[in-house]
Chains A and B, each alone.
Chain A
Amino acid sequence: MALAIEGPTAEQAVLEPVAAIAAADGDDIPGGRSRVMTVVGHVTLALLGLACVFPIYWMYATSLRRPDDVYKTSVLPWPLSVGSYRDALDELDLARLLLNTTMVAALTALGQLLTSILAAYAFAVWNFPLKRLLYLAFVGTWLVPFQVTMLPNYVLLHQLGLLNTLTGVIVPNLVSALGVLLLRQHFDSFPKELLEAARIDGRSSWSTLWTVVVPNLRAALSALAILLFVNAWNEYFWPAMVLQRDNSVLQLGINSFLNSTEVEAWGPLTAAAGLACLPIFALYLALQRQVINGFVRSGLR
């Protein structure tokens, strides 16, 4: 991963040929393609695929059953009912949670994208003293698990008065080493002639970045933005630490719901969990290609 990115090792296998996944569709399989293997492939993959989505299906199926039918095991949740959703909305202030989570995830992703663009630009365009060392400083963050830095960060947030605030969730996450490493790959492969042309035109490096580089890398940037957004949306550890007394983002809301209900209210619980996943699934269905590219290119998380 991060370390492998230094050498031309795993990165080549992992980062470059993403687009090739789709392209390889047309490739001939060396050694010949046997009918038996094709059938085995279809059957195995279909079964595995169904097994993988079954829990997700079961989550939505349970949430759509009538409250009395929750314990039924029929595959189709019939008759449908939104009763569980109504109960979940009574229990949790879902509108506020959704709004907070969206805000936190969007601001985090935006901030990470911005700092990553600037840093990757510096690495790709200039040579400067300590460049390698500073780059290693980004790569090295993968060796520092969250649990190692949490205590001092918690103390600092306390001193800044940011505990139990959404700002406290966002601010410490405004840099993504992953974003810097990924964007550097893209910026490095950006045609140097274009940069040179912009320079001869008398553009500053700042205006070159925003008028030449960024517009041309829109695809890569949007893939990264989605990746960062999904990561921030699903983040649990850091919000759990910062918002100890106030479960004001979705992941924490569901967790408190999960642990608070004395009676096992599976209908409302699956309804809340389903709602929490819905925006991400919608994003995935709408932008499947970019999401997959973003994640594979990242080779991480």
Chain B
Amino acid sequence: MFVEVAPPTQLAPAPPPSAGAGTPGPSHARRSAGSLARMLGRGVIPYLYLAPALGMLVVWIYRPLVQTANYSFYSWNLSPDQPAIPQGWHNYHRLFTLPEAGNSVLRTVAMIALLLPFTIIIPIIVGLLTAEVRGRARTVYQALIFAPFLVAPVASAAVWQWMLTPGSGIVNRATGLKTNWLHERLPALLSITGIAGWQMLGFAVLVVSAGLASINGDYSEAASVDGASRWQSTRWLTLPLLSPTLVFLVLTTVLLAGTWTFPLIDTLTQGGPVSATTNIYYLLWQYGFKSFDAGFAAAAGVIFFFGFTLVAAFLVWLSDRLTFHDN
């Protein structure tokens, strides 16, 4: 842009590096074979910088993705000396007829729904309340709420297992309940999502605070001059302006729910009791590494990937529409 505006003197500034190797220099009339080779050489440079990261990406993400798609048409138990037997669409057929798979999808949806209060509702309330508090206290509150996010999932599993132990755990002793939190079906599901929510809350609060801080105060000021109440200005200005941030948090919750809950499920319940906490991620893991049914796990992974892409595309579309409010 800078180059275009500058007058075309003899000493025209060279194109900034961002204009790239593809842009012909001012002296293209005199371009010799040597400088052409140099141009080509320069064209390679960005790819050289990209090579290490892209190479890793290809080897560890996209190659396995393709290979998973391939495995999904075979029956194979992961053992090197066992041949993989072609199965056609059989794995997919099993996937869609097996009640276990459908149930685990439902449980995943339930877990995501139970996580949303922790990643959306409480953070909004906390974010709005933090705006009322000033100074040092505010930093302290944020630090306290953020701290659980840094606890390693396995460590939090350990301490929660202790706190939820029936009889001697602090939760039951404080509340007087007799619930066996990790060994009854509904309480186990609630515990897993509750612990994951406890860990993610601080992160979501920070994201919402950042979103709130970015909203231009002029709007609310104008509204209050016009006589809008505090609630009206929150409801009709702040929340709509915050909506892209909230969509972002929903997307994060949906995409990462499995990553957050997996270590807790694996350490605390192993998917039980009676697979009450087996979500789709854990089911994939069990089929892959417990029953060594690689083809089936791969088919589930492929379906899963497409499902994710659809949900993400929808949320990105939604987020684009919502940003219409902002200018």
Contacts and interface: CB of A to CB of B under 8 A. Distances in A.
Interface of A: 1, 3-4, 6-10, 12-14, 16-18, 20-25, 27-34, 37-38, 40-42, 44-46, 48-50, 52-53, 55-56, 58-59, 62, 71, 73, 114-116, 118-119, 121-129, 131, 134, 137-138, 141-156, 158, 172-175, 177, 180, 192, 195-196, 199-200, 205, 230, 233-234, 236-237, 240-241, 250-252, 254-255, 258-259, 264, 266, 269-270, 272-274, 276-277, 280-281, 284, 288, 291-292, 295-296, 299-301
B91 interface: no
B165 A251 contact: no
Given A147-B258, A236-B152, A237-B259, 20 more contacts: A1-B255, A9-B247, A30-B221, A32-B230, A44-B129, A45-B145, A122-B46, A122-B47, A128-B46, A144-B61, A144-B305, A145-B308, A149-B60, A152-B63, A152-B64, A233-B152, A255-B157, A266-B165, A284-B150, A292-B206
B61 A128 contact: no
Interface of B: 2, 13-14, 16-23, 43, 45-47, 49-50, 52-54, 56-57, 59-65, 67-68, 71, 78, 80, 122, 125-126, 129-135, 137-163, 165, 168, 170, 173-174, 198, 201-203, 206-207, 209-214, 217, 219-221, 223-224, 228-230, 233, 242, 244-245, 247-248, 251-252, 255-256, 258-259, 262-263, 266-267, 281, 284-285, 288-289, 294, 297-298, 301-302, 304-305, 308-309, 312-313, 315-316, 319-320, 322-323, 326
B52 A119 contact: yes
B158 A270 contact: yes
B263 A29 contact: no
A201 to B, nearest CB: 13
A33 B144 contact: no
Contacts of A20: 210, 213-214
Given A4-B244, A151-B294, A292-B146, A143 B312 contact: yes
Contacts of B267: 255, 258-259
A118 B305 contact: no
Contact of A237 (B19, B263, B294): B263
B64 A55 contact: no
26 contacts: A1-B248, A3-B313, A17-B211, A21-B209, A22-B139, A24-B213, A31-B228, A45-B129, A56-B159, A128-B47, A144-B61, A144-B305, A147-B301, A148-B302, A149-B60, A153-B64, A174-B56, A192-B2, A205-B17, A237-B263, A251-B154, A258-B154, A269-B158, A274-B155, A292-B146, A301-B203
A18 to B, nearest CB: 5
A277 B151 contact: yes
A276 B250 CA distance: 30
The 5 closest A-B pairs by CB, nearest first: A49-B144, A30-B220, A127-B20, A10-B248, A152-B64
A133 B21 CA distance: 18
B137 A42 contact: yes
A137 B168 CA distance: 50
A82 B208 CA distance: 40
A241 B308 CA distance: 23
B131 to A, nearest CB: 6
Contact of A45 (B130, B148, B151, B245): B130
A175 B266 CA distance: 26
A147 B263 CA distance: 13
Given A175-B60, A270-B162, A32 B210 contact: no
B233 A30 contact: yes
Given A7-B320, A8-B323, A277-B151, A118 B53 contact: yes
A31 B224 contact: yes
A199 B14 contact: yes
Nearest to A200: B14
A99 to B, nearest CB: 16
B309 A127 contact: no
Given A45-B130, A150-B288, A255-B267, A9 B65 contact: no
A259 to B, nearest CB: 7
A204 to B, nearest CB: 9
A172 B61 CA distance: 9
B153 A295 contact: no
Nearest to B144: A49
Given A1-B252, A13-B248, A52-B198, A296 B304 contact: no
A295 B19 contact: no
Contact of B64 (A4, A49, A53, A149): A149
Contacts of B229: 31
Contact of A145 (B22, B122, B304): B304
A14 B323 CA distance: 13
A4 B251 contact: yes
A252 B173 CA distance: 30
